[in-house]
Amino acid sequence: MCDEFIHPGLVTDSRLSRRAFGLMTLGAAGMASGAALAQSNVVEQDVTVTTADGSCDAVLYHPAGQGQWPAVLIWPDIMGLRPAFRDMGRRLSEQGFVVLVPNPFYRSAKAPVIGDNFDFGNTEQRARLTGYRNAMTDSGVASDAKAYLAFLDAQPQTAKGRKAGVQGYCMGGSLSFRTAAAVPDRIGAVGSFHGGNGLVTKEANSPHLLIAKTNATYLVCHAQNDDAQQPQMKDELKAAFAAAGRPATVEVYAANHGWCVKGGAVYNEAEAERAWSNLGTMYKASLV
């Protein structure tokens, strides 16, 4: 869930100002077509992934140098692909992964889809993002997931024969569940961070009903205010994981919805770092 009560306040990032983003665009245009940009020990490249519904703008990361590493797909939150998620992709790749961060709203707009100040209290701004999200059907998400994993698997840096991971934030939590069900033979680990109450619904397409179709280990990190709204959800998830025989850690963190993403009013560094640490532990054990 992402509304003014669960995701309050401004989301800010000066890198999304018109001037700053214009400079970033000019810098990218100055590189040779398809060229990769090395940053520290990570190579970053803007890419286009062909899907059944069109062309998705995305960013790809892999460690610099020779070698092969496990693949990970990152689903952004309701505000989409932006510098904060580029930072996440880069950080994860530094730990030894080939990482793809797509623009989940490519059907509606190119990334970034927000400016340097986004206000969840603004009904018009929030409705625009909701419209982008509503354009993503369940079948479309499953098709996208297959395309993204196929793109990752086609990279020479991706380790063949090793499981892939998927992690998501806010709406990306439920998208990660759907990814694990769409490509069950590839996904070995799923991370959901402040995934909101959409992980368990009364509808027939509830993400938790897909768990039995997957072959992954799960890390589900709830926000404390999401838990306050639907306290039974953590128990329903635990029951679904147990019934499916899937290893899972379900925990409520001492932070509010959105706490993992820098730039938000509720960013909580201590709990965000704990989430990163637990994610790394799961990937190390599961992506083999």
Stronger pLDDT, 23 or 248, i.e. the higher one: 248
Residue 74 has pLDDT above 70, yes or no: yes
Asked if the peptide bond before residue 112 counts as cis, ω within 30 degrees of 0, the response is yes
Kindly state the tokens that stand for 229. Answer: 């709204």
Residue appearing with tokens 């993992």: 260
Provide CB contacts within 8 A for 272, sequence distance 6+.
Answer: 255, 259, 260, 262
Going by their DSSP bridges, the two strands 117-119 and 10-12 should be labelled as antiparallel
Mean pLDDT of 31-36: 48
Stronger pLDDT, 226 or 122, i.e. the higher one: 226
Whether residue 225 is contained in a domain is answered as yes
**Choice among 116-125, 170-179, 182-191, 220-229 with the minimum mean pLDDT:** 116-125
Residue 167 has pLDDT above 90, yes or no: yes
Domain span at residue 238 reads 10-286
Alpha-carbon gap, residue 283 to 280, rounded angstroms? 5
Whether residue 50 is contained in a domain is answered as yes
Whether residue 268 is contained in a domain is answered as yes
pLDDT band at 38 (very low <50, low <70, confident <90, very high): low
Selection from 112, 117, 179, 113 nearest residue 150 by Cα: 179
Model pLDDT, residue 17:
59
Whether residue 4 is contained in a domain is answered as no
Residue 12 has pLDDT above 90, yes or no: no
How many domains is the chain partitioned into structurally? 1
Alpha-carbon gap, residue 71 to 49, rounded angstroms? 15
Provide CB contacts within 8 A for 285, sequence distance 6+.
Answer: 217
The tens digit of pLDDT for each residue in 146-159 reads 999 999 999 999 99
The domain spanning residue 271 has which CATH number?
3.40.50.1820
Residue 36 has pLDDT above 70, yes or no: no
Model pLDDT, residue 11:
72
**Choice among 28-32, 97-101, 166-170, 212-216 with the minimum mean pLDDT:** 28-32
Residue 33 has pLDDT above 90, yes or no: no
The three-class DSSP label of residue 226 is helix
Could you tell me the sign of the dihedral formed by the alpha carbons of 82, 135, 78, 244, in that order?
Answer: negative
Mean pLDDT of 69-82: 96
Kindly state the tokens that stand for 193. Answer: 């961070």
CB 176 within 8 Å of CB 161: no
Q: Output b/e per residue, 224-258; b: 16+ Cβ within 10 A.
A: ebbbeebeebbeebeebbeebebebebebbebbbb
Model pLDDT, residue 120:
74
Residue 3 has pLDDT above 80, yes or no: no
Model pLDDT, residue 122:
82
Residue 274 has pLDDT above 60, yes or no: yes
Whether residue 5 is contained in a domain is answered as no
Alpha-carbon gap, residue 85 to 88, rounded angstroms? 5
Whether residue 1 is contained in a domain is answered as no
Model pLDDT, residue 22:
47
